[in-house]
């Protein structure tokens, strides 16, 4: 759905259109503005809003705008007419009127009807949809079409696709710079984490349409992992505020895994996930069990250092029960302002399997496992050092090796989710 408004004014009405745009800057700044040459220059100078300038009216700027309407790029046209004193060289409204009528586009010709258009726009939300076309195993074009079909009756979508050159994080930063009132992320946990990282601390609501392999963040918050359910959650408009975190400067909405989990995630590459789906992680985990060894670990919290021989260290902000290695306390609470830390220290492969089964069971009944080889704690921040250095995975992406410094950001993220989620996470 387009998010462009066209502005035209006869010479004696140019002061009026500048004053009109200035009066409604909070609404009009949410949209892309195009205008005939002189009108656009006057608006830009008088309001500071960016305006894409066409040719001047006498040179055919109105025809250029008519072409934009005809190709579906404009949602409304405001053409302030001077019905009594218009000069012969000024643009005529007849051709533009016909195009707007054919394509059912609202056209205002005076300040009263222009106010009516602004009133309509005030009731409409604009959502910046950041869509990763390579996420998941479905048909990306069909997924995008369904999202647009479900959301666009109520939300005007400004769609941006990620590419190898244009990351989800950069697209989110661009959306914020353009004054986005809500941002939607569609992809796997890596895409959603990247978008969330840019949104942290802004107060801008984040809509999540999960299309990845694990979809762990959506599951952790109780957000449906099917497109229709996720869109219904966004349209409901209810939000909850959850914690976020940073690990070595990288945004973290789920968890940081050091050791076993990082190696497992690296084994489950995109090709394996495309072929086997979530099963790729299980296969990678079994393979990693055969090779993984304990490593010397130092955990520093508020200046106090403790040492362990660990096989895995998991620091979670939010995690579903299937994120087994995060379940040292039986439940990861995403609204308490604390990180949940689980240190697994199994000495044999059999102990490792038993520990993971116990952790999964603990998550299902939300109680901490009672095992000497699993240590758990909650803290606002910590530093993890290992010997030898271990890989670090943050929200499904390898970011480097230890040491890792992780800090919770309480109430850092506003997410579209059902009210019940805030009570149970």
Range of the domain at 57: 4-122
Q: In terms of domains, do 402 and 268 share one?
A: yes
Residue 133's pLDDT is 96
C-alpha 384/C-alpha 377 separation (Å) is 14
Say whether 183 sits in a helix, a strand or coil.
strand
User: Does residue 413 lie in a domain region?
Assistant: no
Which alpha helices (H) appear in 103-188, and where do they start and end?
111-122, 140-151, 168-177
3-state helix, strand, coil in the chain (%, to 5): 40, 30, 35
Q: In terms of domains, do 116 and 129 share one?
A: no
C-alpha 369/C-alpha 358 separation (Å) is 6
C-alpha 338/C-alpha 329 separation (Å) is 12
C-alpha 389/C-alpha 402 separation (Å) is 5
Domain CATH number, residue 91: 3.40.50.1380
Say whether 45 sits in a helix, a strand or coil.
helix
Q: In terms of domains, do 336 and 398 share one?
A: yes
Residue 276's pLDDT is 40
C-alpha 418/C-alpha 39 separation (Å) is 46
Q: In terms of domains, do 103 and 208 share one?
A: no
Identified catalytic residue from 62, 243, 340, 373: 62
pTM of the model: 0.72
Say whether 324 sits in a helix, a strand or coil.
helix
Kindly give, in sequence order, each residue whose CB lies less than 8 Å from that of residue 370, ignoring residues fewer than 6 positions away. none
C-alpha 396/C-alpha 256 separation (Å) is 8
Which alpha helices (H) appear in 303-410, and where do they start and end?
349-365
C-alpha 250/C-alpha 246 separation (Å) is 5
**CB-based contact 241:270 (threshold 8 Å):** no
Q: Strand pairing of 404-416 and 239-247?
A: antiparallel
Residue 43's pLDDT is 97
Q: What is the pLDDT along the chain (425 residues), one digit of tens a residue?
A: 567 999 999 999 999 999 999 999 988 988 899 999 999 999 999 999 999 999 998 899 999 999 999 998 999 999 999 988 888 888 888 999 999 999 999 999 999 999 999 998 887 788 999 999 998 778 999 999 999 999 987 888 889 999 999 999 999 999 998 878 899 999 998 899 999 999 999 999 999 999 988 898 999 999 999 999 999 999 999 999 999 999 999 999 999 988 877 766 655 554 444 544 444 444 444 444 455 678 899 999 999 999 988 888 999 999 887 676 776 566 788 999 999 998 887 555 445 445 554 544 544 445 556 666 778 889 999 999 999 999 998 988 889 999 999 999 999 999 999 754 444 43
Residue 92's pLDDT is 84
Q: In terms of domains, do 94 and 138 share one?
A: no
The count of structural domains within the chain is: 3
Determine if the peptide bond prior to 272 is cis (ω within 30°). Answer: no
Integer angstrom CA distances of residue 108 from 7, 64, 79, 92, 118: 10, 18, 6, 14, 10
C-alpha 302/C-alpha 378 separation (Å) is 12
Residue 311's pLDDT is 82
From the annotation, which residues make up the binding site for substrate? Answer: 10, 14, 36-39, 56-57, 89
Domain CATH number, residue 301: 2.60.200.40
C-alpha 353/C-alpha 36 separation (Å) is 69
Q: In terms of domains, do 158 and 290 share one?
A: no
User: Does residue 113 lie in a domain region?
Assistant: yes
Nearest one of 352, 384, 390 to 371, comparing CA atoms: 352
User: Does residue 263 lie in a domain region?
Assistant: yes
Q: In terms of domains, do 156 and 279 share one?
A: no
Domain CATH number, residue 148: 3.40.50.10330
User: Does residue 218 lie in a domain region?
Assistant: yes
- Does 82 participate in catalysis according to the annotation? no
From the annotation, which residues make up the binding site? Answer: 10, 14, 36-39, 56-57, 89
Q: In terms of domains, do 299 and 210 share one?
A: no
């Amino acid at each position: 759905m387009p998010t462009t408004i066209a502005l035209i004014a006869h010479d004696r009405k140019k002061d009026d259109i500048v004053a009109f745009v200035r009066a409604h800057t909070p609404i009009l700044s949410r949209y892309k503005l195009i205008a005939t040459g002189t009108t656009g220059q006057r608006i830009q100078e008088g309001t500071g809003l960016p305006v894409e300038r066409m040719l001047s009216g006498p040179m055919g700027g109105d025809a250029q705008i008519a072409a934009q309407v005809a190709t579906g790029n404009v949602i409304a046209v405001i053409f302030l007419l001077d019905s009594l004193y218009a000069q012969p060289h000024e643009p005529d409204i007849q051709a533009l009127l016909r195009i707007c009528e054919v394509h059912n586009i609202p056209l205002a010709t005076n300040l009263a009807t222009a106010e009516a258009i602004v009133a309509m726009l005030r009731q409409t939300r604009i959502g910046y949809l950041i869509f990763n076309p390579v996420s998941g195993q479905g048909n990306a074009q069909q997924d995008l079409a369904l999202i647009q079909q479900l959301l666009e009756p109520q939300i005007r979508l400004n769609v941006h696709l990620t590419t190898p050159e244009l990351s989800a994080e950069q697209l989110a930063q661009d959306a914020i710079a353009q004054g986005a009132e809500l941002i939607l992320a569609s992809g796997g946990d890596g895409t959603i984490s990247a978008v969330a990282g840019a949104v942290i601390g802004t107060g801008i609501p984040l809509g999540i349409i999960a299309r990845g392999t694990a979809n762990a963040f959506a599951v952790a918050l109780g957000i449906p992992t099917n497109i229709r359910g996720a869109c219904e959650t966004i349209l409901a408009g209810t939000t909850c505020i959850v914690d976020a975190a940073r690990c070595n400067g990288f945004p973290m909405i789920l968890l940081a895994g050091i050791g076993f989990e990082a190696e497992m995630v690296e084994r489950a590459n995109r090709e394996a996930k495309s072929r086997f789906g979530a099963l790729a992680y299980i296969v990678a985990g079994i393979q990693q069990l055969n090779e993984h060894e304990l490593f010397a670990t130092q955990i520093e919290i508020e200046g106090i250092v403790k040492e362990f021989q660990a096989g895995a260290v998991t620091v979670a902000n939010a995690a579903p029960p299937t994120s087994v290695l995060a379940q040292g306390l039986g439940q990861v609470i995403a609204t308490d302002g604390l990180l949940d830390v689980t240190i697994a220290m199994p000495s044999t492969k059999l102990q490792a399997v038993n520990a993971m089964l116990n952790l999964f069971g603990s998550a299902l009944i939300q109680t901490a496992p009672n095992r000497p080889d699993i240590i758990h704690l909650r803290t606002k921040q910590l530093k993890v050092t290992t010997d030898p250095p271990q890989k670090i995975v943050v929200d499904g992406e390898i970011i480097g090796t230890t040491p890792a410094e992780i800090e919770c950001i309480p109430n850092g993220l506003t997410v579209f989710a059902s009210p019940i989620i805030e009570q149970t996470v």
